[in-house]
């Protein structure tokens, strides 16, 4: 089947993980409202049952825990069979681990990566043979502005997004010749449920970091957060574009912080270049 993702007038078929709340829910609902079809997945079917009631045959709701590869493969294949194609595969499931580098256990970090990285990979690897067979598609991944800069206390979450970015950048080069496009969506701070207890896990606390963490969380209180319901039209412009970007900042604040971070990195590399060059050996 010839892929028609470049034609914005053609209704698209989406596969979305983490569709129960936050961006996943907002984007699934918005895609359905514009007449697209959506395979919406979540760990609990009850959390997305209202989509089925509201949109009928245009939505397929599937129970999916992305940390279970066989369940992922079954869900992706079921969605593809049900709708006959998948135009957009959107990895949105993820959470943040709160804890300093010393506080978090290896088990905490492994669990984070099982969802944020290995869950994403399971979806991509299940979808790729189907997208190749149909002649193309568009893989989207919800990363973060923290895929380029970091914050203390959520360093492991940041690290998962840095890994997420590298994986998708390599993927984009590998699948380009198959007509498959890749876009990394990089939201800034938004007033979603991402900061809720359901989307955060906490490492064991060490008293030595209590003051530092109190100051850190205090600094976040006045952070301007975007309106997540303002995002769908921007996302649709990306998926409807003939040549969508590999990276797409969502919101108005990311670019300034990324500019500053890279300027600082370049300045340090430049300052140390004579020493760096001396280590070349020829």
**157 belongs to the catalytic site:** yes
CA end-to-end distance (rounded Å), the chain: 54
Annotated active-site residue in 12, 37, 95, 143: 143
Give dist(CA 250, CA 262) in Å, integer: 19
Which among 37, 55, 113, 161 is annotated as catalytic? 161
Phi, psi of 219 (to 5 degrees): -70, -20
Is 143 one of the annotated active-site residues of the chain? yes
3-class state of residue 69 by DSSP: helix
Neighbouring C-beta atoms of residue 129, cutoff 10 Å? 12
Question: Angle CA(69)–CA(83)–CA(114) in degrees, nearest 5?
Answer: 20
Number of H helices, E strands in the chain: 10, 9
Cα separation, 144 vs 185, in Å, equals 7
Catalytic residue among 157, 159, 181, 190: 157
User: Any idea which residues carry the catalytic annotation?
Assistant: 143, 157, 161
């Amino acid at each position: 089947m010839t892929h028609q993702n470049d034609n914005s007038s053609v209704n698209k078929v989406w596969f979305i993980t983490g569709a129960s709340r936050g961006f996943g829910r907002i984007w699934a609902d918005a895609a359905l409202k514009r007449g697209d079809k959506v395979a919406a997945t979540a760990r609990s079917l009850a959390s997305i049952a209202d989509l089925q009631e509201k949109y009928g045959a245009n939505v397929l709701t599937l129970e999916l825990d992305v940390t279970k590869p066989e369940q992922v493969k079954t869900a992706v294949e079921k969605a593809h069979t049900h709708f006959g194609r998948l135009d957009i595969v959107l990895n949105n499931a993820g959470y943040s681990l709160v804890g300093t580098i010393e506080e978090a256990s290896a088990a905490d970090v492994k669990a984070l990566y099982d969802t944020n990285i290995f869950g994403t990979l399971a979806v991509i690897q299940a979808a790729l043979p189907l997208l190749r067979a149909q002649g193309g598609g568009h893989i989207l991944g919800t990363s973060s502005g923290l895929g380029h800069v970091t914050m203390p206390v959520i360093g492991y979450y940041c690290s998962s997004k840095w890994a997420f970015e590298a994986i998708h950048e390599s993927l984009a080069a590998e699948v380009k010749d198959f007509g498959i496009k890749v876009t990394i969506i990089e939201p800034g701070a938004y007033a979603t449920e991402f900061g809720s207890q359901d989307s955060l896990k906490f490492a064991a606390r060490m008293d030595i970091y209590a003051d530092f963490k109190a100051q850190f969380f205090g600094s976040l209180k006045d952070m301007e957060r975007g309106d997540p319901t303002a995002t769908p039209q921007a996302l649709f412009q990306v998926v409807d574009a003939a040549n969508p970007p590999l990276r797409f900042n969502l919101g108005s604040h990311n670019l300034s912080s990324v500019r500053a971070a890279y300027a600082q990195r370049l300045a340090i590399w430049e300052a140390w270049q004579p020493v760096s060059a001396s280590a070349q050996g020829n």
